[in-house]
Structure 1
Amino acid sequence: MAAAVLRSWGRVVLKIGPRGAACLTPSCSGGVRQKSTVQFATRPDLPKLAYRKVKGKGPGVVFLPGYASNMGGQKAEALEDFCKSLGHSYLRFDYTGCGASEGVLTEGTVGSWKRDVLFVLDELVDGPQILVGSSMGGWLMLLAAIARPEKIAALIGISTAADHFVTAFKSLPLEVRKEFEEKGEWSIPTKHNEEGCYKLSMDFLQEAENHCVLQCPIPVTCPVRLIHGLQDQDTPWHISMQVAERVLSTDVDVILRKHGQHRMTEKDDIKLIVYTIDDLIDKLTTLV
């Protein structure tokens, strides 16, 4: 059984597993969850990156948010509680132009956000990490694993959106694509922001095409776990199947949730993510 500490809707669920999760109940913590402190990483000639870090043993866990998202979401916070309970290090951060980080969202690219992830791996954490990538973060975790294989212990993709901006645009009817190309931007309807749409420039899409990974084998050999909801209206679940087929790793599992949505923030979704991390930590530490 997984050792999991989950805080959900104002109450704490505590499960003690074989490694003996630390007590994290209102009586132990004074009734208030102690969040990690926001810090800022300074980079020469680049915007500062905002991050929250919990010190602990390895393998550490790094959370990669989705497009236009930030490190303050339910999954990111639940994983911090979990890692604290086991004494493992944990880091969550905001990409350039997102959340508390400096920069402008509309100036960001897949390449610039990949650079953010590599900076985190190179400068802010020690030792191999388990990357947990949500949506676009799942694409970025693959790019990071290709660029820094020695820094990666395992990958967990949640609604992985590898290549999705590019393939979704190319799947549009030709006349629709031409219309957006003439306008210079693509408006994607969404229920995840107040505007009701994401606006992606043609330059963004052209740059993103340079980082596509699904056309050929993906040189990733670490353990890979891919969790996807069959009711995902934003990123089709078959993308996770494509990733599973193309990675070179022989240790790959795909978990499909019948009623799962894109954000995977229901209590049982978060439990599954936590159990998946816990099982990987067991596997990795046993191998050592």
Structure 2
Amino acid sequence: MTQQHEPNFFTSPDGRRIAYHLTDGSGPAVIFLGGFKSDMQGTKAVYLEEWAKREGRAFLRFDYSGHGESDGAFAYGAIGDWFEDARAAIGLLAGKVVLVGSSMGGWISLLLSREMPERIAGLVTIAAAPDFTEDGMWGGFDDAQKAALENDGQVALPSEYGEPYIITKRLITEGRTRLVLRDPLDLPFPVRFLQGTADADVDKAVALRLLDHAAGPDMRLTLVDGADHRFSDDACLDLISTAVEEVLTRS
């Protein structure tokens, strides 16, 4: 991996200071949108940046507020905040863009696609987790967890990635205003959904539901046998860049 340099920063219209790395190159620019509590130093983001540099392709990776090197506290954030951060990040670029959304970033990329389809040249999702605050979290909470959320304003969930996730009432209630699997979802550009069958965080049923729910002229789902949620081994990384190249070619 290339050595990481200090990030640049911009202040969003909502007043949040967002860290980013922008690689100059030809358009449409590729934008990586990371997952819940992840950051732009992850394997997939850095891999795609190196791919973009080799291809002479413009590329942007950034940290949502409360993530990585951006300002803010993670526990105070919600899907809408991070969607607004991503929308502001697109504003750094001219012309159309290709979105690459990983996990929660897949949900945010779908929100962007719904709001500004004219800016989107193509979409690649990796273990997309649309509506996970409602279907995965709230839907999976027991009565005690729901009561704690209501009475205390938060509940702690264990994480295999380190410290427990603090899930706030705001995350759940604000997320209900950002759902994408309940209403028509038009994706009028090339779309490639990537999903591992051994993903313990996002079941392949979510990918199948998304494929069935969305409407578009050029959508494909690739299931990778045995791939987990990280989707970061060499074969998976190669699939990601191949999918990006495919939507660029077809856009």
Instruction: State whether residues 158 and 228 of structure 1, in contact with CA within 8 Å, keep that contact through their aligned partners in structure 2.
Output: yes
Cα deviation, 1:251-288, whole Å, max 9, x if unaligned, reads 1111111111111111111111011111222222xxxx
Q: Distance in 1 between matches of 2:159 and 2:22?
A: 31
- The total of aligned residue pairs comes to 250
Asked whether 1:49 is paired with 2:18, we answer yes
Q: Distance in 2 between matches of 1:201 and 1:95?
A: 17
Q: Which amino acid aligns with 1:51?
A: Y
Q: Which amino acid aligns with 1:227?
A: L
Return the match for 2:117 from 142, 149, 158.
Answer: 149
Q: Distance in 2 between matches of 1:253 and 1:73?
A: 25
Report the equivalent of 1:111. 80
Matches within 5 A, 1:5-154: 33=2, 38-43=7-12, 46-122=15-91, 124-154=92-122
Report the equivalent of 1:259. 226
Structure-2 change in CA distance of 1:175 and 1:47 (3 Å): closer
Q: Distance in 2 between matches of 1:45 and 1:92?
A: 19
Matches within 5 A, 1:94-243: 94-122=63-91, 124-168=92-136, 169-174=138-143, 176-193=145-162, 195=163, 197-243=164-210
Cα deviation, 1:186-207, whole Å, max 9, x if unaligned, reads 32221112x2x21111121001
Structure 1 counterpart SS, 2:215: coil
Structure with greater Cα Rg? 1
Q: Which runs of 5+ in 1 are unaligned?
A: 1-6, 8-32
Q: Which amino acid aligns with 2:128?
A: T
How far apart are residue 176 of structure 1 and its match? 4.6
Structure-2 change in CA distance of 1:61 and 1:45 (3 Å): closer
Instruction: State whether residues 156 and 227 of structure 1, in contact with CA within 8 Å, keep that contact through their aligned partners in structure 2.
Output: yes
Cα deviation, 1:24-52, whole Å, max 9, x if unaligned, reads xxxxxxxxx36565111123561211000
Instruction: State whether residues 155 and 225 of structure 1, in contact with CA within 8 Å, keep that contact through their aligned partners in structure 2.
Output: yes
Cα deviation, 1:137-195, whole Å, max 9, x if unaligned, reads 000000011111111111111010100121122243445533443343232221112x2
Structure 1 counterpart SS, 2:22: strand
Instruction: State whether residues 221 and 247 of structure 1, in contact with CA within 8 Å, keep that contact through their aligned partners in structure 2.
Output: no
Q: Distance in 1 between matches of 2:13 and 2:111?
A: 23
Most deviating of 172-181 and 106-115 = 172-181
Q: Which amino acid aligns with 1:274?
A: S
Q: Distance in 1 between matches of 2:141 and 2:74?
A: 24
Q: Distance in 2 between matches of 1:45 and 1:205?
A: 21
Q: Which amino acid aligns with 1:167?
A: D
Q: Identity over the aligned pairs, expressed in percent?
A: 31
Instruction: State whether residues 217 and 247 of structure 1, in contact with CA within 8 Å, keep that contact through their aligned partners in structure 2.
Output: yes
TM-score (norm 2): 0.94
